[in-house]
């Protein structure tokens, strides 16, 4: 069995460089949620030269919106949303220091080019396993746009948050390579 890589935020290029498409990762540290509406607001702040609600250098963005938390938990279910909806915003955020994004589904060629240029990872979280993912979240707080409800920007403190590398720093794409590996009987 291949053990997962362990990463801690803020992410650094030298820690991400060994990763390859298909590798398993356990992420610990701070991650920020941001979906469509939050990305639009962040873009507007950048365009107007306003301060951003969280630091981008080394940041990890999780394309997700949490459900209300039950009394005995830090957060409700929180699963990934389709990443392609954030593709118009991703290249600029990578250029400003975001080092990884988390979601589900493939990224556009333009986003993959920006990932290579700025040395950024794209990782997938388990779709359909939102309740399981929430077990790795130690705390949650709103850091921007509370009026957006579940689409606000949340700061999650996570420990051993399970992810799969989809796009690595070397041009690997697990959505393209994975089926071929399977057919050949390779992990």
* Whole-number pLDDT of residue 92: 97
Q: Which of 132, 161, 138, 168 has the alpha carbon at shortest distance from 26?
A: 161
Confidence of residue 187 (pLDDT cuts 50, 70, 90): low
Output the CA angle 113-157-19, nearest 5 degrees. Answer: 35
Hey, what domains does the chain have and what are their CATH numbers? 5-184 (3.20.130.10)
pLDDT in tens, 32-66: 999 999 999 999 999 999 999 899 999 999 999 88
Interatomic CA distance for residues 11 and 7, integer angstroms: 7
In the three-class reduction of DSSP (H, G, I as helix; E, B as strand; rest coil), residue 68 is classed as coil
Return phi, psi of residue 56, to 5°. -90, -25
Under 8 Å between Cβ of 60 and 76: no
Q: How confident is the model at residue 70 (pLDDT cuts 50, 70, 90)?
A: confident
Asked if 38 and 144 count as a contact pair (C-beta separation under 8 A), the reply is yes
Catalytic residues: 39
Find out whether 172 and 19 touch, Cβ atoms under 8 Å: no
What distance in Å separates the CA atoms of residue 22 and residue 7, rounded to the nearest whole number? 15
Q: Determine the distance from the C-alpha atom of residue 64 to the mean position of all C-alpha atoms in its chain, rounded to a whole number.
A: 9
Check residue 179 and give its pLDDT. 75
Phi, psi of 41 (to 5 degrees): -65, -40
């Amino acid at each position: 069995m291949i053990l997962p890589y362990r990463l801690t935020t803020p992410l650094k290029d030298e820690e991400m460089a060994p990763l390859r498409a298909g590798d398993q990762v356990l992420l610990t540290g701070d991650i920020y949620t941001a979906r469509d509406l939050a990305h639009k607001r962040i873009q507007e702040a950048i365009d107007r030269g306003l301060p951003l609600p969280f630091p981008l250098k080394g940041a990890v963005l999780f394309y997700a919106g949490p459900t209300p938390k039950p009394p005995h938990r830090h957060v409700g279910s929180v699963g990934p949303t389709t990443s392609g909806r954030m593709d118009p915003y991703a290249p600029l955020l990578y250029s400003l220091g975001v080092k990884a994004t988390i979601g589900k589904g493939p990224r556009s060629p333009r986003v993959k080019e920006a990932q290579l240029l700025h040395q950024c990872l794209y990782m997938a979280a388990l779709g359909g396993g939102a309740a399981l993912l929430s077990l790795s979240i130690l705390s949650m707080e709103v850091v921007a746009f509370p009026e957006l409800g579940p689409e606000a920007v949340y700061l999650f403190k996570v420990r051993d948050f399970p992810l799969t590398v989809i796009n690595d720093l070397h041009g690997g794409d697990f959505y393209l390579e994975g089926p071929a590996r399977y057919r050949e009987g390779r992990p």
